[in-house]
A and B are shown apart, each in its own frame.
Chain A
């Protein structure tokens, strides 16, 4: 898989764009997902709902979904949308290895949430992919606890500005089985993607997740089928 590199020397894994092998097929699948999301936006416009889907939460039931978030953000960026990818999965820092830029002491979402000075821009890193920047979980991810406290993350969804306008914001959330972060943030996003692993996720668990997200005010765009997490 061809990594996307940031000027800081970090690597951000995403679907390759060179048209070779399985990675090309995977990239096409994310492009198709992007088209489905944008199609859902067009469909909702007729009933007076928001004209576009700008912020999307990506949440799994009992597994991390960082790879899905990365792929979707990459697909948005390739579609000429100025995209910000936020790793808000602070409960399982292990997943942020996929989008944490290499290098020492990289601050991210956790440091920004802990910073008492409001209005300070967060540290979003550019990547090798045009139109795509990333806000990693941060080194202090495990000390933050609840990333939704104070409403700062919710505000980030509606006004994700760091000096640059954003067309799309993709937020990777902690699994619903581990934390209620996604439920607290769902109503602030334009849409929620529920990620399911065929052969592992039960219908009962998926139904409970659906009901919880809807009760929290989330607008479920649909379900994305994903592979089981690597052991």
Chain B
């Protein structure tokens, strides 16, 4: 298919080529505007005692700390947080299931990062603050054996606000719009391939095999003739 034919197809269904990216662009904007808020807690966890065995490459403390994210995302931890939320208006709107669904965690070396994510920034912040208070007790209660020396949990960052993560918003917006543009062009081409109607005289010649000997459609309004041409015709 020649480039000219492709352009004719796209122009004929320009509303698909333009409309779909516009819709996706608007939808992405709306979606990013409704992105939830996140409050972040970072803590360093030090398992007591010398856990390094000479000649052994394994670090038992890190293996224990691997359970940190699992602990944070467990219903037991959610119950602890929910109990400590108190009786304020925010707490009244949250139950253990809400807290459980809001929490996520990841570990890197001895650092544990916990995120509390909610549509309401106040709720996210409230949960994050309680997590920072509850985390030391939870680590010692679930990751350290009874009677053993307790672990040290140092809070590196307490949440002061809940924010939206819009770092990749522009990139996502551009990529999704470009994908929609390509999809719109593809749909226009598909529609054209399924459309059996005749549009131009070349269509009649090529697809019906008859010559077009007349075009009596009402001409579109054209630019006014220059005065010298009107004078000549008069």
Contact = CB atoms under 8 A, between A and B. Distances in A.
Partners in one complex: yes
Interface of A: 19, 22, 25-26, 29-30, 32-33, 36-37, 40, 67-68, 71, 193-194, 196, 198-204, 206-207, 210, 220-227
Given A203-B203, A206-B204, A196 B216 contact: no
B198 interface: yes
Nearest to B203: A203
Interface string B199-212: 11101100111111
Interface in B178-234: 196-201, 203-204, 207-219, 221, 233
Nearest to B233: A19
Given A224-B215, A225-B216, A225-B217, A203 B198 contact: yes
Contacts of B199: 198-199
A36 B210 CA distance: 14
Nearest to A204: B196
A227 B201 CA distance: 13
Given A194-B210, A207-B208, A210-B210, A202 B198 contact: yes
A193 B210 contact: no
Contacts of A210: 208-210
A26 B196 contact: no
Nearest to B209: A210
Given A26-B219, A68-B216, A227-B218, A196 B204 contact: yes
A33 B214 contact: yes
A29 B215 contact: yes
A203 B221 CA distance: 29
Interface of B: 196-201, 203-204, 207-219, 221, 233
A224 B218 contact: no
12 contacts: A22-B219, A25-B218, A196-B198, A198-B203, A206-B208, A207-B207, A207-B209, A210-B210, A222-B210, A222-B212, A222-B213, A224-B213
Contact of A30 (B208, B210, B216): B216
**List of 5 A-B pairs having minimum Cβ-Cβ separation, nearest first:** A33-B214, A222-B213, A36-B213, A25-B219, A224-B214
Contacts of A202: 196-198
Given A30-B214, A222-B213, A222-B214, 19 more contacts: A22-B221, A25-B218, A26-B216, A26-B218, A26-B219, A29-B215, A196-B198, A199-B198, A202-B196, A202-B197, A204-B196, A210-B209, A223-B212, A223-B214, A224-B215, A224-B216, A225-B215, A227-B216, A227-B217
Given A194-B210, A210-B208, A222-B210, A201 B219 contact: no
B194 to A, nearest CB: 11
A36 B208 contact: no
A227 B199 CA distance: 12
Most chain B beta-carbon neighbours within 10 Å: one of A40, A199, A206, A221: A206
A40 B213 contact: yes
A98 B210 CA distance: 28
A224 B211 CA distance: 9
A142 B200 CA distance: 35
